[in-house]
Amino acid sequence: MTRIVDLTVPLESGQRGVGIEPAKTLERDGWNATTLRLYSHCGTHMDAPLHFGVSGETIDRIPLDRCMGPAWVVDLTGIEPRALIGIGHLGRTKDKVCAGDGLLLRTGWGRRIGNPSYRNALPRVSLELAHWCAEKGVRMLGVEPPSVADVNNIEELTAVHKVLLGAGVIVVEGLANLDEIHSEKVMFMALPLRIVGGDGSPVRAIAIEDQ
């Protein structure tokens, strides 16, 4: 038996980078349809290397087999705001990670959506941990905050993203519901929209765990 945990933030009009407007109505046009205006890094999303100019690889050119695979769940619940997440925070998991594995950092940050601290006081991936992920051959790195690094510090933001994206690590940001995962290792999947030339895309992210 397997269990699927949806790790995706629901998109609603009025959220940062999200606009959803009626385009057609059943009464007027015979069917319902909406117009979506989505920032490429809104909600739960994936970064393409193009996002920080690491390479010309766009979101539509990322092979789907890189967007799924086994992932370790690291419990960092209770971590302080603005904390730098280092290798030491991984605990015993750091000795279990093999090339091709993913990492999901559970911080509880998804519960802060709508609060200014969600964006401005996020715990972030240290440059040390980014280099470690690159050296270990980590396939995917998933975090609950809207970014792996401080969005208000362009130097940090650029450095961490360049290390990860430059090493081919798939970066998924804005995850939710990691506290609903019961296993220490799951199958993680995040599939982006196939946007030609895209620098990123919202994704539907899920974890599949054995019961």
Give yes or no for a contact between 9 and 144, defined as CB atoms under 8 angstroms apart: no
Q: Give the active site residue among 45, 51, 89, 161.
A: 51
177 DSSP 8-state letter:
-
Is residue 51 flagged as an active site residue? Answer: yes
> Residue 126 phi/psi, 5° resolution?
-75, 160
Give CA torsion, residues 161, 67, 9, 79, to 10 deg.
Answer: -50
Q: Judge residue 148's burial from the number of C-beta atoms within 10 Å of its C-beta, 0-12 exposed, 13-18 middle, 19 or more buried.
A: buried
Q: Which helix (H) or strand (E) holds 160?
A: helix 154-166
Active site residues: 51
